[in-house]
Amino acid sequence: MELYVVKSGDTVHQIARRYSTPADGIISANQLQNPDVLSAGQALIIPTDENRRTVRPGDTLYSIARRYGVSLPRLIAANPQVTDPNRIYPGQTVVIPADGRQTREIIVNGYVTDAADSTLSAALPYLTFLSPFSYRSDMAGNLIPTFHLNLTLSGGYRMANLLTLTNLLEGGGFSGQIAHAILTDQAVQDTFLENVEALLRQGGWYGVNVDFEYVYQFDRESYNQFLRRLTDRMHQLGYLVVTALAPKLSEGQQGLLYEAHDYAAHGQTVDYVVLMTYEWGYTYGPAMAVAPLDKVRQVLDYATRAIPAGKILMGVPNYGYDWTLPFAQGTAARSLSNIEAAALAGRVGAGIQYDQAAQSPFFRYYDADGRQHEVWFEDARSLRAKYGLVNEYGLAGVSFWNLNKLFRTNFILLESMFSVEKVL
């Protein structure tokens, strides 16, 4: 695999000839919506492995992986032209990864709030855990489903499902009042835990992922005590516990999002923590990178002093935003996938720039009404820089928010740098 940054005048076929690789492979690996239109500054993944096998009757990707001694996710990553890993046909050509070096094994979690089965199936080989935003609680400790996951999707991918528990309101937004009731009212907490156990007994779950946000500052110690009780109970039943934490820069950081999230207590209590290292650039804020590397590094500097690095999953965004300029308080940016962002740059003829401090791509353009826009998103360069932090800080792995939209480049890059730990 190579990473190439498009220059003005480049075409897919010229790039393919330069690397002696099929143009179709480049188009598929990068999900190019219009292969005839590339943007200067656009980062492309170039599949370059040369060992190939022609599919024979009875072959599956799994049987080919075993025959050649490569992992199934690695084989899938090398063959982005295979859109459904469960279906290959005689006569197809399958690339066998030639690089057999040992890569570090990491934990990979992915959140999802809504996704087609085909999108999830494409992601599952690269996940240790899938955390669907599955249940929210009410003031009485009842659990209400928010997203139905087809648990049979995991199939032979040895991917484990985590029951994600939130304090979301029915109409959206996190509720400090709901969290307060669960954390401080013994009867409500008992009901909540009994409902969690009832769901786990239905099967298909490996553990729980607690995402309580905007918890009141005065509930900080109650939250810590709740997590100790929950973790003790889950461990006795043989389940894993993961929590999601706001991206703090210091222990005493002020703000409703941060104050009740006690890094040291979570690190001592639960199995893994997800650091939500994204949303510096957000829907109602000014235009900037969603997860600027310099800001992420600041969070990790603090987090690794408070939490064992081997318990930390660094959050990685799988989306971008399109802001209308100039920014005005109360206006909203439009969320878009990384694929949509790159395609938009091509449609409007915008060159893609790369911010070195943030290690993130962006571009500006004018719409039909003459309004200027600024778009920040993720590409192969920004993801490679983020994955480098995993090794630098010795983290357990990464966690994606979210996997609703397929970004194939991400998985190809991930598999080129790491092996994914499987717990099943």
Candidate list 194, 197, 213, 279, residue with the active-site label? 213
Determine the Cα–Cα distance for residues 300 and 312; give it in Å rounded to an integer: 9
Is 197 known to be catalytic?
A: no
Distances (CA, A) of 148 to 41, 144, 145, 204: 39, 11, 7, 13
Residue positions annotated with a catalytic role: 213
